[in-house]
Each structure stands twice: as structure tokens, then as C-alpha cells.
Amino acid sequence: MNQRLASPVIQVLFWGLTLLTMSLFVQYSRPVRFPHVALLVLGAGTFYGQSWLAQRYIYRHFSRQGIGLMIGVGLVGCFLNVVMISSLMAAPGIVWLQTGLALVLYFSLTGFLYQGFCVVLNQRRQQHQLEKEKIELELSLVRSQLNPHFLFNVLNNIDHYVRNDPGKASQSIIKLSSLLRYLLYETAQSKVPLDSEVAFLEEYFDLQQQRVQTGTTCRFKKEITDPGLMVVPGLFLPFLENAFRHCPLNQPGNFVYIDLMGQPGKITFISRNTRQLMSPTSDREGLGLALAQKRLMLLYPNAHHLSIMETDHHYSVELVLDMT
């Protein structure tokens, strides 16, 4: 149940049952008279009065003064209930007293419990809000770390082109401008169409492919059957970066294969590449993967499966997102 609706629903149910009980009492006693209405108003006053006192003096800050006030309100309510009931029923005084005490205890206890329910509900709402703000803060931190990490990798490639092929360096700078424009504007959104994200990845793939020498195979394959899929921008970028970083592009027989499939209710990203024999993962390379994994846990909790496999000569990543 929605937390904002829970409190009103509880009140409606409580007063509905109370009115039903009192209507049965009136039906088998006498016609409705002013004391009946006054008794109901008095009960409501006791209920909300005890609820307010409990919230102010018990649940917020425990106070003996609050306990005394609640007892005082209960005694006054008991006295007034006895007066009301005595005008309704021709019965001995002891019966009036017992009935008055029962009604006061009923409204006081339910008011106290109702306020306790409201306090717990409010605490849960505040906790949920704090968790939401914490996640947003962590995501902002991860994003602020990922973007410089990406920029560092691309600039490192351009530096290679400047020394070896100035023409490719110029083309790379143009592509970098397009990539940065995407990172600047699109990553500010919570989600983007999968087609837009794929176009961004293809541009980055082309930028990296310029470094490839004869004998190394690079392939980017996409299969999008659900054009309505939305995804968090930049989610797959660290894995694509990692594939090129692991693969020795200057040696024949190596490869980088990227497959991205968008099906109804599911997105699958697969990266496979050759790697140098027992090449250790540096701290810089590990940072991108660690940030990507943290981002997945924050954005797709219990809705993603990430599998990373390493051998002496191959490295593969498979990420499946549950979009249902």
C-alpha cells in the first residue's frame, strides 16, 4: 500500500467500525439523541487528543509530563463519558463507570496505537528518501569518475595518432567532439533510447578501430528488435574500453568482437577479445570495471547479470539487463 494513503485508510476503517458498533448499540437501546452524538464527539476528541499527546511527548521525546497529561485527559474523558452514558441508560452508577472507563480506554489506546503507526510510517518514508538521495549521490560520484576515465583513454589514443598519423589524429579529434557532446548532454538524462546509446558506442568503436593494424579483426554487431527500449547512458562504455585495452592491436590473429542485442524485456551486451599472455590488470583498468559494476548495482539491483571470464589468451564480458 502507498505510504501516503495508508494513514487515511486506517482512519476510515477505524471510524467505520466504530460507527457500526455504536449504531448497533443505538438500535438495541433507544432512538438517537443528543448524548449519542456527544458521546461520539467526545470519543473522537479523546482519540485525537491522546494521539497528539503521544506524538509530542512519547514518540518524539519521552516525557513524564506527557504521561501525566495523557492520564489527565483519560480521567476527564472518563468523567464526561459517565455523564453522557448516565443520560442514556437507566442503570446503577457502577455500570456507568465501567462503561465510561471502557470507552476511554478504547479511544485512548487506539489513538496511541494509531500515532505509533504514523510514526513508523513516517520513519520508513524518511528512510526511503534518504536511501534515494544516497543512491543519487553515489551515481553522481560514479559518473564524475567515469567521464574523466573515458577522456583519459581517448586522449591517450589521440596522442598515439599525433606522433604516427596526424591525419587520423584530426579525425579522432572530430569524433571525440561528438562523443563528448553525447556525454555532456545525454548522460544528464536518467535514460536514453537504446538506439542512441548504440550509435554512441559505434562511434567510439570506430575511433578505437583506427588503431588496428593488419591482422587484427574488429567487429561490432547489433540486433535491436524492440525500438522502445531505454537504457542508462554510458552503461556499456567501460566494457568496450576494456576490450580494446586488453587486446594487443599490433599483432596478427587478434580480435575484438562486440555483440549488442535488444529484445523485448531484455538487453544483452557481449564483448570478446584476445589478450596478451597473463597480462595483469592495472589499477587504472580495474577502476573502470569497478565503477561500472557499482553503477549496475545502484541502477539495476536484482535486474542484471554480469559475467566476466578471463583465460591466458581470451577475455569476455556478458551483461544481461532485465527490462521487464
Query: How many domains are there within the chain?
Result: 2
| Band of residue 64 on the pLDDT scale cut at 50, 70, 90 | low
The single-letter DSSP state of residue 59 is I
- Please report whether residue 159 resides in a domain: no
Q: Looking at the structure, tell me whether residues 105 and 245 fall in a common domain.
A: no
Q: Looking at the structure, tell me whether residues 111 and 199 fall in a common domain.
A: no
Average pLDDT over residues 41-58: 66
Q: Looking at the structure, tell me whether residues 176 and 317 fall in a common domain.
A: yes
What the block records as the C-alpha cell of 247 is: 587486446
E strand or H helix at 112, and its extent?
Answer: helix 93-164
Q: Which of 127, 157, 181 is the last residue of a domain?
A: 127
Q: If DSSP codes are grouped into helix, strand and coil, which group holds residue 321?
A: strand
Which of 13 and 295 is assigned the larger pLDDT? Answer: 295
Q: Which of 79, 104, 127 is the last residue of a domain?
A: 127
**Other beta carbons within 10 Å of 36:** 19
Compute φ and ψ for 253, nearest 5 degrees: 90, -5
Largest CA distance in the chain: 109
Between the CA of residue 106 and those of 30, 36, 57, 110, 315, what are the distances in Å? 22, 17, 20, 6, 69
Average pLDDT over residues 268-273: 96
Asked if residue 270 has pLDDT above 60, the reply is yes
Which of 245 and 89 is assigned the larger pLDDT? Answer: 245
Q: Tell me the DSSP string of 155-218.
A: HHHHHHHHHH-HHHHHHHHHHHHHHHHHHHHTTTSS-EEHHHHHHHHHHHHHHHHTTPPTT-EE
- Please report whether residue 225 resides in a domain: yes
pLDDT in tens, 106-158: 666 666 666 666 766 677 777 777 676 666 655 565 555 555 666 776 787 78
Q: Looking at the structure, tell me whether residues 111 and 169 fall in a common domain.
A: no
Which of 70 and 275 is assigned the larger pLDDT? Answer: 275
Q: Which of 127, 144, 177 is the last residue of a domain?
A: 127
What the block records as the C-alpha cell of 174 is: 572530430
pLDDT in tens, 160-200: 778 877 887 888 888 888 887 887 777 778 889 999 999 99
pLDDT in tens, 30-43: 554 545 555 666 66
Asked if residue 204 has pLDDT above 50, the reply is yes
Q: Looking at the structure, tell me whether residues 230 and 314 fall in a common domain.
A: yes
What the block records as the C-alpha cell of 263 is: 529484445
Asked if residue 286 has pLDDT above 70, the reply is no
Instruction: Sort strands 255-263 and 217-224 into parallel, antiparallel or unpaired.
Output: parallel
What the block records as the C-alpha cell of 175 is: 569524433
- Give residue 257's domain range: 165-322
What the block records as the C-alpha cell of 74 is: 483519560
Lowest mean pLDDT among 86-90, 261-265, 277-281: 86-90
Amino acid at 126: Q
- Please report whether residue 144 resides in a domain: no
Residue 249's domain is classified under what CATH number? 3.30.565.10
Q: If DSSP codes are grouped into helix, strand and coil, which group holds residue 263?
A: strand
Identify which of 264, 267, 243, 266 has the alpha carbon closest to the alpha carbon of residue 255: 243
Asked if residue 76 has pLDDT above 70, the reply is no
d(CA 191, CA 150): 19
Q: Looking at the structure, tell me whether residues 183 and 312 fall in a common domain.
A: yes
Q: Are 246 and 275 in contact (CB under 8 A)?
A: yes
Between the CA of residue 299 and those of 106, 138, 159, 189, what are the distances in Å? 47, 11, 34, 13
Q: Looking at the structure, tell me whether residues 295 and 176 fall in a common domain.
A: yes
Q: Looking at the structure, tell me whether residues 9 and 85 fall in a common domain.
A: yes
The single-letter DSSP state of residue 61 is S
